[in-house]
Structure 1
Amino acid sequence: MMKKLISLLLFNLSLTFAFGQPYTETVYKPGIASIEFYNESKQGSIPILPLNSNERVVIAFDDLSGQTGNYYYTVEHCDANWNSSRLSPAEYLQSFTEDQFLTYKYSTGTYRKYVHYEIKFPNANLIPKYAGNYILKVYEDGDKSKLVFTRKLYIINSRVSINANVVQSNDPLKRLTNQKLNFTVDYGSLRVQNPNTDMRVYVTQNLRPDAGLLNTKPTYIRGTQLVYNDVNINDYPGRNEFRLFDMRSLKAGARNIERIFRDTANVVLLNLDINRANEAYSFQYDNNGNFLIINQDGYDTRVDGDYAWVYFTLDAKKNGADGSAYVVGRFNNYQLNDKSKLRYDPEDGRFFTRQFLKQGVYDYEYIWVDSATGKASDIVIEGSHYETENDYQLFVYYRPPGSRWEELAGFQQVNTGSRR
């Protein structure tokens, strides 16, 4: 019965993609954990590569079943909205159209046994021809309908220049809570017949999928410069610095950890988290929502980093009947689901949950979903301040005249620390 349900789910999933729904970063197979996808020059970096360069991305993950699987991967070209470009793989890929994970290692000296898979891309078997967005698909047994997980990849052909800066909001009511991003894109000698259709700029804060905004129309045009500084756009809540815990070692406590012990598995109890919505801003170092898999207890984090049940407890100053709390970060792609949802304990008025995580350093925050409105917001629990240190990413997409796809023609990341 379970196999039939899974087959039906995958079939419906393939139909959804076929009819043009945008791709997201999702894990489809239970037991797949600690997915890392970054430019090999720096762990945790954005998986962005210059076209036809020698740079590569690292694709790594653990299979907690402890058994080896038959995993394959491919990439599919997408537009700025992560819809399929509807191109044949032969058009945007050189060599072959898929590759197999042949490199794997078994965990050593860990409580939880797992198999670690890792590969670097592009390689001799899979090379992209065009710049643009690509969705990475990992699947089983060479069957693309048996998806394991998806991740977003960026191949850039730098053809524009970007000048961006972050200031306080122009709205008097938001000056203490919001940050305003202004930027200019200069397309130089590119053939741009209509800037409103040929150029699009996707902006996001700390790579949050819930903070993305596609700019399709510049405020005004000055020669070859597209200026985006309208007072009503790209005005973001500054939010708060992320909460963070340091689990690089399971032998001694570290930042935000109250207690570590071993039962049938490693257990990590975090300090009680409180509602910060009405607190004054306080700077603290974080990784802007990111996570890093690091192990100080061993020699090779990939295979001797252990897993632990990490317990989160939140005093949200709210009742469970008012809404639901979720714990999110890049470690779970900010997804609001049963796995990230906290349960409410009416006896002490607190929310709690646990996550099974590999040793490392993790940023996280809490999102509140109101029962009456259904609206999701992190500000309700975390607060928002214009002083908060954030990264803003700008992706510039260009559609050449007569082409059937969009290129990624420019990228820039700007940090609010430049305002200090």
Structure 2
Amino acid sequence: MNNILSLFCFLCVTLSIAQVQVEVLPPNYIKSIILKGNSDISGNPVIQLGQSLTLEFDDIIGDEADYYYTLEHFNYDWTPSDLIKTEYLTGFDNLRIINYMNSYNTLQGFTHYNLKIPNKDTKSLKVSGNYMLKILNVNDELVFSRKFMVYRPIAQVKVAIKRSRDLKYINSRQVVNFSINSPDFLIRNPESTVKVLITKNHNLKSSIEVLKPQYTIGNELIYKYDQETSFQASNEYLQFDSKDIRSTTLDIGRIELNELYSHFLFTDRSRATEPYTYNPDINGQFVIRTLQGENSSIEAEYVWTHFKLQNYDPLEGGELHLYGAFNNFVLDDSTLMKYNKESGLYENTLLIKQGFYNYKYVLLNKDGFLDEGFISGDFEVTENEYQVLVYFRDLGARFDQIIGYGNASSLNISN
């Protein structure tokens, strides 16, 4: 009897874990995925209810394959919500992406796909909350998926970036303080009905969850945590611009042409022990562009981009990875920096579409902890952008809605 009970509990836990949705990574032939709202921020965008969403991607097989899209609604913890499709979507999904073009005058052929929501079939999203856009092939197999969030501006969210109150981290961490005010919306029992998600530079993978306000003043919920809402400040991103396929730059030291162009970046080195230098970046984002054509979406070339890093600090079982929005801040075999005994450098090569890119090197420790400052260093004056999402589920409600969104830059950091 005890064995049966244990097996039942195990199956229940396994089933609950399996329900938590994670993004499916694209195969190697899917490149340059851009998912954005009304801004140029790509990755996991936050849009207001009623605003548009745009997805772009390339298939470098270039055979005009058919792709389909579906939209699904999720709770705060990315478990499926209890809503049926007609409750959160006006119109239809599971439709073929009909807007696509083949590349023009490029060495690497590809088919470029473009999807806008809303459109004539998928007319609108009805409710706020977490969503996932899934792309499927003609065999109904999931090719890749991306998360995005939709908010309804009911509550006002004020965000301030502070230095850490812990003297050990005062020069290396940034703390997010915020308040939630809803003068026209009654938030009952906020300790159990309100949840908060904080992200840095629109990166869900390094987000922090905050469940309870510290105290309330009238209708205002106050969150002034220190350690619980602190982020590694890291450093400004490195960058390169390959818009001119045939010209070297301050970042691109050498160019070769075989079947495709190859760009060899100058060797990077550790900045952890160097003084902070302000170098404006776009917080890890990228922009597709080319000087060799008018329409960058189909006329930008794909380039073999070679990265090299000089590092003398022991990794102690960890791994060095490339990091940025070019692949939605994912760490996998494609981003791994491998040590070359002949050159004495860590090296990697990625097939990347022409454009302006931010990137940095991070250490993935053997315990799974991501250290952004191991190579870049951590400086409290680094410019980062922070986003705060407020989730609310009223007593008896069937889903988590997002009732507020606020952001702030660490340029205005204070004590």
Query: Fold conserved (TM > 0.5)?
Result: yes
One-letter amino acid of the counterpart of residue 390, structure 1: N
One-letter amino acid of the counterpart of residue 223, structure 1: G
Aligned to 2:67: 71
Q: Give, in whole Å, the separation in 1 of the partners of 2:15 and 2:331.
A: 20
1:95 has 2:91 as partner? yes
Structure 1 unaligned segments of length 5 or more: list them: 1-14
Q: Give, in whole Å, the separation in 1 of the partners of 2:349 and 2:226.
A: 42
1:379 has 2:376 as partner? no
Give a deviation string over 1:50-91, Cα, whole Å, max 9, x none.
22x3x3121110000011111010111112222221422122
Give the deviation of 1:346 after TM superposition: 2.1
One-letter amino acid of the counterpart of residue 227, structure 1: I
Give a deviation string over 1:198-235, Cα, whole Å, max 9, x none.
11110011122342011100111111111000233211
Q: Give, in whole Å, the separation in 1 of the partners of 2:220 and 2:301.
A: 51
- Aligned equivalent of 2:193, options 195, 198, 205: 198
Q: Give, in whole Å, the separation in 2 of the partners of 1:269 and 1:215.
A: 43
Decide whether the 8 Å contact of 1:245 with 1:257 is kept in 2. Answer: yes
Give the deviation of 1:355 after TM superposition: 0.5
Aligned to 1:5: none
Distance change in 2, residues 1:327/1:43 (3 Å): closer
Distance change in 2, residues 1:157/1:369 (3 Å): closer
Aligned to 2:403: 409
Give the deviation of 1:260 after TM superposition: 1.8
Distance change in 2, residues 1:271/1:244 (3 Å): same
One-letter amino acid of the counterpart of residue 394, structure 2: P
Aligned to 1:314: 309
Q: Give, in whole Å, the separation in 2 of the partners of 1:290 and 1:172.
A: 32
Aligned to 2:325: 330
1:30 has 2:24 as partner? no
One-letter amino acid of the counterpart of residue 275, structure 1: S
One-letter amino acid of the counterpart of residue 396, structure 2: G
Decide whether the 8 Å contact of 1:244 with 1:362 is kept in 2. Answer: yes
Decide whether the 8 Å contact of 2:200 with 2:385 is kept in 1. Answer: yes
- Aligned equivalent of 1:153, options 148, 152, 157: 148
Decide whether the 8 Å contact of 1:85 with 1:404 is kept in 2. Answer: yes
Q: Give, in whole Å, the separation in 1 of the partners of 2:374 and 2:64.
A: 43
Give the deviation of 1:42 after TM superposition: 4.0
Structure 2 unaligned segments of length 5 or more: list them: 1-13
Give a deviation string over 1:137-190, Cα, whole Å, max 9, x none.
0111262xx111111222221100011111211111111111111110012232
Give a deviation string over 1:331-378, Cα, whole Å, max 9, x none.
11222211111111123321101010001111111122345x554312
Aligned to 2:384: 390
Give a deviation string over 1:308-341, Cα, whole Å, max 9, x none.
0000001121457743211111111222211111
1:211 has 2:185 as partner? no
Give the deviation of 1:244 after TM superposition: 0.8
One-letter amino acid of the counterpart of residue 20, structure 1: Q
Aligned to 2:54: 58
Percent identity among equivalent residues?
28
Q: Give, in whole Å, the separation in 2 of the partners of 1:210 and 1:70.
A: 30
Give a deviation string over 1:19-52, Cα, whole Å, max 9, x none.
312323x32333000011112454648633322x
Q: Give, in whole Å, the separation in 1 of the partners of 2:139 and 2:81.
A: 22
* Alpha-carbon RMSD: 2.1
